[in-house]
Amino acid sequence: MSLNKLRTWSLGMHGREEPVAALQELFDRTHSKGVRELCLVEGYSGLGKSRLVREALEHRVDKAGGLFVSGKFEQKHQEDLQTPYAAITMACQQLCTLIHQWLIVGEHQRQRQAKKAMKSRLREKLANDVHVLKTIIPNIELIVNSIGDDDDDDISSSDRDLGSHYSSSRSLGKDFDWETLGKEPLEDTTDTATMDESEHEPIQDGKMADQLKRLQFAFGSFISVVAERGPIVMVIDDMQWADQASISLLQAFLTQSAIGKENIPLLVVGVYRSNEVSSNPQHPLSKLLGALGNKADNESPKELPKTAVADQTNPHQGIPMTRIALDNLSVKHVNQMVCDLFVLDEPQTVAPLVEVVHRNTQGNPFWVVQLMTGLQSQGLLDYNFGLMKWIWNLPEIEAKIKITDNIVGLTKDKLESLEDGTLQILQIAACLGSTFDENTLQMVLSKVDRSKLLGGGDDESCEGNELDWGELDTCVDEGFLEEFGSTSYRWKHLSL
């Protein structure tokens, strides 16, 4: 029996009851009152911040008829390599896909009326700005094209104007200097709430401030229209790697400047590693926290108490801001976690093992799972089918941990125990980013010389360039990758 395959995917949110309740309360308030709110979830790597947000909100948002989307920033070793708006683009691409599906599916009269209303609003708000949004939301054309797809006679020819206007004006976006937008100081964001639609003239070269204002207004208009479909939760992950352009755009559309005085049901949840931000007052996110929290730009955001929820709203900025800080789990909660892994309801049975686990992981949830699965792969944890329970030898476990120095050593041992073919799959996946799909993996695999990868092709599992599904399943079973959607995968954690 494998801990990875049968149990780790279904672990509960042990010790996270308060943050879960806080997130759900934030969404309920956003939904019921139709207001914008910002929530920042912070903590060290491996504390389960991303999973916490998804577990707390995804089902709740779906049940309320809302839209749950997410995007994440990738780590870049050079600032110049950072793609502007990457996480926002990812989230909005998902948003466009969901709205497109809603616009083209369903024939109930009430739905048809709602769709007509949204198409009319899209025409009204985005008529001259589609090409601007296309630079950061490439698939917005899905929505634009669907506006002209309705055969209902009640829809006038003007209902298709946005689609035709997009086709004729899309070339204007080629000169839109979007890569440098947002790199100006945050305080330079200009109020665009009073801009009239007639003021949307084609963008001229060299007017960076105007381009930034245009993008902010178009983005805010897009979000406000889409939010009429239902409440939106937008999760922006790994904000410790956010670029200045993205932070500027987030500040603009969260505050009054980008959306005007419209109340919309929008909850933005930012997730970041606090230790990589709090020590750097010049970090883009530090500046955002300073601006929204009414702190000086040169003051680092204060770290919150362990596992704390704090309302740090600046009433002058127009939106409530809540910060949720996560910390390591207590011995009690690690005990609950291990009982969950072993399918036990007797905490005292695993207490001695839990003490060793907690001492070597400090209660970090990710490393708890890595340690447990590492011990199992080394044969130090085993399921006895005769006794129908998990068994272990505590002295052997302590000796093994001492020899390898730490749980990183155990994870390394687990990697080295894999067949060469499986290692090569992981090596290629590591070059594809935090998430990837089967087609991309297969395409890259078909073009590489596997003899030059780990293992050098000595193992029979390295023969051929076809994707071996057994190798991919092993990567999942051993806890290195996890399935994401029907044909995509992502790393279980970036620490790997």
Structure-model confidence comparison of residues 409 and 119, the more confident one: 119
Which residue's entry shows tokens 């903590």?
A: 43
Identity of the amino acid at 428: I
Least confident among 91-100, 213-222, 223-232, 475-484? 475-484
Least confident among 10-24, 124-138, 300-314? 300-314
Residue 18 has pLDDT above 70, yes or no: yes
Instruction: Report the pLDDT value the prediction gives residue 329, as an integer from 0 to 100.
Output: 94
- Phi-psi domain of 414 (left: phi exceeds 0; alpha: psi -120 through 50; beta: other): alpha
438-456 mean pLDDT: 74
- Phi-psi domain of 283 (left: phi exceeds 0; alpha: psi -120 through 50; beta: other): beta
Please report which helix (H) or strand (E) contains residue 202, including its range.
none
Structure-model confidence comparison of residues 186 and 252, the more confident one: 252
Global pTM value: 0.73
As beta bridge partners, residue 68 has: 233
List all residues 6 or more positions away from 99 whose beta carbon is below 8 Å from its beta carbon.
67, 118, 142, 143, 226, 229
Least confident among 31-45, 177-191, 380-394? 177-191
First to last CA, the chain: 23
pLDDT, tens digit, for every residue of 193-210?
444 443 434 444 456 777
CA distances to 111, 113, 232 from 104, rounded to whole Å, are 10, 13, 20
Residue 76, classed as helix, strand or coil, is: coil
Enumerate the domain spans of the chain. 17-325, 330-415, 420-491
Residue 152 has pLDDT above 60, yes or no: no
Q: Residue 333 corresponds to which tokens in the numbers above? A: 């909660």
CA 312/CA 248 separation, integer angstroms: 19
Residue 299 has pLDDT above 70, yes or no: no
Contact 159, 147 (CB under 8 A): yes
- Of 75, 146, 93, 138, the residue nearest 116 (C-alpha): 146
Q: Residue 488 corresponds to which tokens in the numbers above? A: 């995509």
Most confident region among 29-33, 217-221, 275-279, 376-380 by mean pLDDT: 29-33
- Phi-psi domain of 435 (left: phi exceeds 0; alpha: psi -120 through 50; beta: other): beta
Residue 457 has pLDDT above 70, yes or no: no
375-386 mean pLDDT: 87
Structure-model confidence comparison of residues 373 and 183, the more confident one: 373
Identity of the amino acid at 15: G
As beta bridge partners, residue 332 has: none
Instruction: Report the pLDDT value the prediction gives residue 31, as an integer from 0 to 100.
Output: 94
Mean model confidence pLDDT for the chain: 75
Q: Could you tell me the pLDDT band of residue 260, with boundaries at 50, 70 and 90?
A: low
Q: Residue 124 corresponds to which tokens in the numbers above? A: 């009204």
| Distant-in-sequence contacts of 202-208, Cβ < 8 A, 24+ apart | 202/128, 202/169, 202/172, 203/132, 203/172, 203/175, 203/176, 205/175, 205/177, 208/177, 208/180, 208/181, 208/184
The DSSP call for residue 74 is P
- Of 315, 306, 310, 313, the residue nearest 333 (C-alpha): 306
Contact 257, 191 (CB under 8 A): yes
